[in-house]
Structures are given as C-alpha cells and as structure tokens.
Amino acid sequence: MDNTTEKKKIMLSGIKPTGDLTLGSYLGAIKNWAERAEQFDCYYFMADLHALTTRNDPALLRRRTLEQLAQYVACGLDPQKNTLFIQSHVPAHAELGWILNCYTMFGELSRMTQFKDKSAKNADNINGGLFTYPSLMAADILLYQPDFVPVGDDQKQHVELTRDIANRFNNLYGETFRMPEPFIPKVGARVMDLLNPHSKMSKSDEVGNGRVCLMDAPEDIMRKFKRAVTDSDSERCVRYAPEEKPGVANLMSIYAAVTGKSFAEIEAEFEGQGYGVFKPTVGEAVVETLRPIREEATRIMKDKAYLENLCREGAERASYIANKTLRKVYKKVGLVAR
C-alpha cells in the first residue's frame, strides 16, 4: 500500500494595502481563492513594504493593512489552510530584496512599464524604491519557491523579470531558486464602475461614488445602486446587451454573480418592471451578500488578541519557509552564517 501523499504545488500572491477592497475585488477574484487551498499550498501577504513607494498616512496604512487581512479571512480564506501574513513581519523579504538588487540590471529596471507609469503619476516623488521595487517583488516570490504566481496583464512583466533574476543567480551559483510560472487565475464576474460602466471598478478610486466597498454600510450600497448608470434609450427594459446597454449589463452581471441566476432568468424576473425596480433589487442582493463579510471583518478587527495571533502565526509559518531560502542564498553569495 502506497502511503505517500502528493505534495501540493505552491502558489503565492501579494496585495498592497492601499485603497479599499471592492465588490469587484471580491466577485472578480477573492471569492474564488478559498477553493485554491484544496489544490495548492497558498501564501497571501499584505505588501506593506511596497506601499512605501508612495507617501501614506502612517495610521491609515496600519489600519488598512490589518483591515485587509481581516477582510480576507471574512471572505473565506481560512488561516489554517492558507498562510496569511504581513510582508514587513517577515524580514527575509527586505533582506533578499537587497541581495537581488545586486543581481538585477539597471537596464532591466529601466524598461519596467509600471515604473514609467507611476513616475508620471508621482512626478514629485520618483524615489529609489519606486525604481527597484521589482527586485523586492522578485524576492517576495522566490523566497517561497512557488510553482505559480497569479498575475494580471499589468504584472506579467514582473514575473518575467523574476524568472530572469532567478536564472541569472542559478547560473552563477547553482540551482537555488525554483522558476515560477505565471498563473492566469479563474476570473469571476468582471465588475465595472456603477457610474462609468466602461471602466473597471477600482479600489484606488478615492472618491468612490461608482464603486462599492466590502465595508460599505447597507444604506450607502443602496444609494450607489439607485444612482447607477443604466441607459437613456426609450426601451428601458432589463436586457443583457453589453454593447448597447453597458450599464444594464454591468448590473445584470453583478446580480447574476451574487444570486447564481442566468441572464435569461434575470430578464424574465424583471420583464415589464423597468429600472426603478431592478436597481434597488440588485442593491439589496449585494447588501445581503456583503453583510456577513462586513460583520465578520468588523468582529475580527475588534478582537485584538485574535488579530495579533493571526499576524504572529502567519509570520512564523512564512518565516520558516522564507528563512530556509535565505540561508541558502547567504551561503551561496559568501555571507557569514548567523
């Protein structure tokens, strides 16, 4: 009888705790993450060191970091099945980040499109961290020897650079880092801005009238849905036609995602009723979907002992793996062992 169990592949993802998690974040991604723990050994970290490339209110950054951690748990990421931690609580990230800086070429960093984009948006604060953060991102990834890194289109370039850095290091010192593969995540509902259905709902939109956040009060959610853009044609019916009626299609997509109903079922449900009934009904469905998440996240934030324990246990589990990689790197490059 074979008593061996197949080892799970490792997956890692880091998320900056800037901005507020939205309905789009949940329906488009987080809702599906809980299922990953059955297939993968998952590491999720709050990338607070990366947040320092822009100026933040210190108290707000601390609060958002803890809130984001609490919200992930409230969304179904079981800390016993997933390693959840704060990046700065695992010093190996910053330590390997510096070492990999020394194995990343200036030209490679210069070609990073996100550096160009963020420099244009932050012309008064083009700091060294903004330039070299892809090396820290490479350290974030390579520390855990992951098989897969979930990426969107805007991050593929960074995973490619991570592979280049790992390959360069391995060629110099022998096999040290596993070569991570980009993982195209299962995409849930694509949620657009309620006031501009041509733009994705964004957690960085500080005004927020077109976005719904996970921690929004029910009355605020209802107000936003009642004001949501539909269309101005004379038909004024609930019909899924993304090109003709993008606002209505967005609301239908949201309603379908939170109720499990098909577009045909939604069209039949609201036949002859118009938007005055449709929009509040979608709002109410979203309120009830987010209610348990908001209540659980609020409970966690009030339970300081639980939150501290969550941070400590996550950091300890992450550090155990990260430090094994770091010790190997220290030895390879000639640093004296601690």
d(CA 198, CA 164): 36
Gap between the Cα atoms of 63 and 188, Å rounded: 28
Q: Are 326 and 96 in contact (CB under 8 A)?
A: yes
Distance CA 136, CA 94 (A): 7
Q: Which of 9, 81, 118, 226 is catalytic?
A: 118
- Find where tokens 């892809």 sit: 134
User: For the chain, first and last CA: distance in Å?
Assistant: 43
CA 105/CA 141 separation, integer angstroms: 18
200 part of the active site: yes
Structure tokens at 33: 């993450």
Take residue 55 and report the two structure tokens written for it. Answer: 């100026």
- CA 294 remoteness from chain centre: 18
Which residue among 9, 200, 261, 328 is the active-site one?
200
Among candidate residues 254, 234, 259, the one with its CA nearest the CA of residue 244? 234
Helices assigned H by DSSP within 83-150? 92-101, 106-110, 113-121, 128-142
Residue 131's identity, in one-letter code, is F
- C-alpha distances out from residue 88 to 10, 49, 206, Å: 21, 6, 25
Point out the catalytic residue in the list 16, 31, 203, 245: 203
Report helix, strand and coil shares of the chain as percent, to nearest 5.
Answer: 55, 10, 35
Does residue 118 have an active-site annotation?
A: yes
Q: Catalytic residues, which ones?
A: 118, 200, 203
